[in-house]
Chain A
Amino acid sequence: MTSPARVFDADDMSRVLSRIAHEIIERSRGVDDLVILGIQSRGVPLAQRIASRIEDIAGRSIPLGALDVTMYRDDVSIRGARPVGVTQVPDVGIDDQLVVLVDDVLFSGRTVRAALDALNDIGRPRSVQLAVLIDRGHRELPIRADYVGKNLPTAPAESVLVRVSEIDGHDEVLLGKDARAASVTSDGGQT
């Protein structure tokens, strides 16, 4: 059983999030109507960090929220019930705003599809963009990210483990050689 390879350490992760923050500012030409929403669960702390970097650069506060997509998933009939997390929409709402969704790993695209459906029930953004820490390929839907921390070529059976200090105690990204080996070394499971 091979141990998982480290893709990012804490410093790498910090640099990548800073770059994404700069890219968001650059592309949105100012941040006047920017709203950042993290997808539960590990997208939420990543969104917080990106927002605070943008605040440092732009000098104004950025509306920040969390989106739980559990009830919008298309696999309830396959995977069963999961705990429902917090959805917190900032007071400004999302109508006519530029919403940037933040998630840890982009894989099949189904989570993002669910997130877009959830947004649709909350309001009507001017535009929606997607930022992910890792894009590991193997899309099953026509979805792509606007901001990518790292494009990581993977085999479908491999697993990408993102750990963030807010939830897991430290920051790192690991690539497990196969899902089973990785889930032995990690606290949680892995899909």
Chain B
Amino acid sequence: MRHLLSAADLDRDRADSILNTAAQLATLQNRSVKKLPTLRGRTIANLFFEDSTRTRLSFEAAAKRLSADVITFTAKGSSVSKGESLKDTALTLEAMGAEVVVVRHGASGAAHRLAHSGWTQAGVINAGDGTHEHPTQALLDAYTIRDRLCAGAGDLDGLRVVIVGDVLHSRVARSNVILLGTLGVEVTLVAPPTLMPKGVESWPCRYTYDLDEAITGADAVMMLRVQAERMNAAYFPSAHEYSRSFGLTAARAQRLADHGIVLHPGPMNRGMEISADVADGPRSVVVDQVANGVSVRMAVLYEVFGARAQVGAIGNTEVDDFIGGEPDVQG
């Protein structure tokens, strides 16, 4: 896996293998030394053109736990405010020797552009591009669901997951529909008609405008953040009305299956898309999601760096596929 640009880059075997690796890496949390030497001396650039706290911190923690060097670039306080383009930034990072670039950008397709433009040889990981995709968020959501509902292993086949909110503008929803679909999960999207994307009929999932019906008996519900700027754009009449129809209240959460869990990619608007008692209640796995994000991103970085080895493999060194046969390395 040279790049991770879209959840569609992951077939089922590869997604399972990343989640399995993440599960092993998660055991590091219980150790006094929480660091592995795997990527010692390798360079990762965090390129954040858009504000983000938890994704940037999560990637930074993941890189540091693998002993990589991290260069962080955020739009605020950088030359972006002077009009520097994605291309110039990419050329700069290439010159500095960044081998993997983690990019967040407001424009859909920015990560793809960076990966395929020839500006840089680096592996590219999409950390959110416009309203397009956010594949590592989908991986950490899948990991969290697996960890909570499948005892950390096995498959998600046949689970029912409901994704609620501003689907139209949500890269989290897009990546989750693709990845959870790949993993055999039955996904239902719920949104007001104004926030349901055109062409949703062709997506590999169900959709409805009725939250109460969709959530009944579901194994997990994922609440999307309602972005403040949408409220001024008349997608829905008022915050209160949105909250009444599409907010997750304690009463609604009772409709979930007994083991049902509540996910949110954060940051939460308590009282808007999710009520405070649900956000902090026993079904909420929001804190798990943050912790799991580090393990999942470590697994993704490891995989992308591993692919660089295969590209650069010299001579007749045989490189076993990550997923295929599993010979013992003897040494």
Which residues on A are within 8 Å of B, measured CB to CB? 41-42, 68, 71-73, 76-87, 104-112, 117, 121-122, 136, 160, 162, 187-191
Contact = CB atoms under 8 A, between A and B. Distances in A.
Contact of A84 (B24, B318, B325): B24
Interface string B289-331: 0000000000100110111111011100111101101111111
Given A79-B317, A84-B21, A122-B33, 14 more contacts: A72-B36, A80-B310, A80-B313, A80-B320, A83-B17, A83-B326, A84-B24, A105-B330, A110-B331, A111-B330, A111-B331, A187-B325, A189-B327, A191-B327
- Taking chain A's interface residues, is the majority helix, strand, or loop, or is none over half, making it mixed? loop
Identify which of B37, B318, B325 gathers the most chain A CB atoms within 10 Å of its CB.
Answer: B37
* Among all A-B residue pairs, the 8 with the closest Cβ atoms: A81-B306, A188-B327, A111-B331, A110-B331, A80-B306, A108-B331, A189-B327, A121-B33
A80 B251 CA distance: 50
B304 to A, nearest CB: 8
27 contacts: A41-B326, A71-B38, A71-B302, A76-B39, A76-B305, A76-B309, A77-B42, A77-B305, A78-B317, A79-B317, A80-B313, A80-B322, A81-B303, A81-B306, A81-B307, A81-B322, A83-B323, A84-B20, A84-B25, A84-B299, A84-B302, A85-B24, A111-B329, A117-B37, A122-B33, A189-B320, A191-B330
B179 to A, nearest CB: 19
A122 B33 CA distance: 7
Given A82-B329, A108-B331, A162-B328, A76 B24 contact: no
Given A121-B33, A189-B318, A68 B326 contact: no
A179 to B, nearest CB: 8
B17 A107 contact: no
A36 to B, nearest CB: 18
A68 B302 CA distance: 15
Interface of B: 17, 20-21, 24-25, 27, 31, 33, 35-39, 42, 66, 299, 302-303, 305-310, 312-314, 317-320, 322-323, 325-331
A124 to B, nearest CB: 11
A42 B20 contact: no
Contacts of B313: 78-80
A80 B307 contact: yes
B87 to A, nearest CB: 28
A80 B36 contact: no
B306 A189 contact: no
A80 B312 CA distance: 10
Contacts of B310: 80
Nearest to B329: A191
A5 B199 CA distance: 62
A122 B28 CA distance: 10
A157 B271 CA distance: 67
Contact of B306 (A76, A87, A109, A117): A76
Given A79-B320, A80-B319, A84-B21, A73 B329 contact: yes
B305 A81 contact: yes
Nearest to A43: B328
A68 B36 CA distance: 12
Nearest to B306: A81
B32 to A, nearest CB: 8
Contact of B309 (A79, A106, A121, A122): A79
Contacts of A41: 326, 328
